[in-house]
Amino acid sequence: MEGVGAAVAFWTLAGVTLFAAAGIMFSRNLLHAVLLLILTFIGIAGFFVLLSAEFLAMAQVIIYVGAIAVLVLFAVLLTPRAGRDNGESKMLLPAVLLAVCLGAVVLFVITDTSWNTVPSAPAVEHEPKVAASDLGEALLSTWILPFELASVLLTAALVGAILLVRSPEEEAEDMPS
């Protein structure tokens, strides 16, 4: 996290990520918005690498770019007559005002607080390094209960998603006669 390289990487990633996020707001075509969303996800994976969380960066690319973005693209393609229009609803002005106020308040709090961080210069060898094996051990020892609950949640979400998108003909076939 030291030196010019980290700074250049940070500001490049910040520019790319924030411009892509703004592009989702302003692009008129829904498919372009999905592609910009993928770019934003990749930028955030870059931030994860900068924060020395390499495993989570890979997980971010695989889950968000590989699964969720493809899911969003499928949903766009499965709703053809809804149009590719990415327009705003009647609530555009209040929504933007509220978001600007929220962002301003949070940014003020961030700059106004003196954060209690680890001193970076003297304790470079003390830098917290988390390997993927440490994360796996923690997930299967300390966090075993939330881990199992997450698997139950994923199963329930999977079954629920399949049930929701079944067509009426399929439901009629499965009915006991």
Question: Please, which of residues 17-36 interact with other proteins by CB under 8 A?
Answer: 17-18, 21-22, 24-25, 30, 33-34
Whether the Cβ atoms of residue 12 and residue 47 lie closer than 8 Å to each other: no
68 near other proteins, judged by CB under 8 A: yes
39 near other proteins, judged by CB under 8 A: no
- What crossing angle do the helices spanning 30-50 and 69-78 adopt, rounded to 10°? 170
Supply the minimum distance, in Å, between the C-beta of residue 172 and other proteins. Answer: 14
How many Cα atoms sit within 13 Å of 100 on the Cβ side? 6
Contacts of 36-40 with C-beta under 8 Å, sequence gap 24+, read 37/69, 37/72, 38/65, 38/69
Out of 12, 28, 148, 153, the residue judged to bind other proteins by CB under 8 A: 153
Angle at 128 between CA 127 and CA 130, to 5 degrees: 140
Out of 75, 148, 171, 173, the residue judged to bind other proteins by CB under 8 A: 75
Supply the minimum distance, in Å, between the C-beta of residue 174 and other proteins. Answer: 16
Supply the minimum distance, in Å, between the C-beta of residue 177 and other proteins. Answer: 24
70 near other proteins, judged by CB under 8 A: no
Binding mask 91-120 for other proteins (x = CB under 8 A): xx-xxx-xxx-xx--xx--xx---xxxx-x
Stated as kind and residue range, the H or E segment containing 12 is helix 3-26
Supply the minimum distance, in Å, between the C-beta of residue 121 and other proteins. Answer: 10
Count interface residues toward other proteins (CB under 8 A): 92
Q: Terminus-to-terminus CA distance in the chain, angstroms?
A: 66
Out of 28, 82, 124, 171, the residue judged to bind other proteins by CB under 8 A: 82
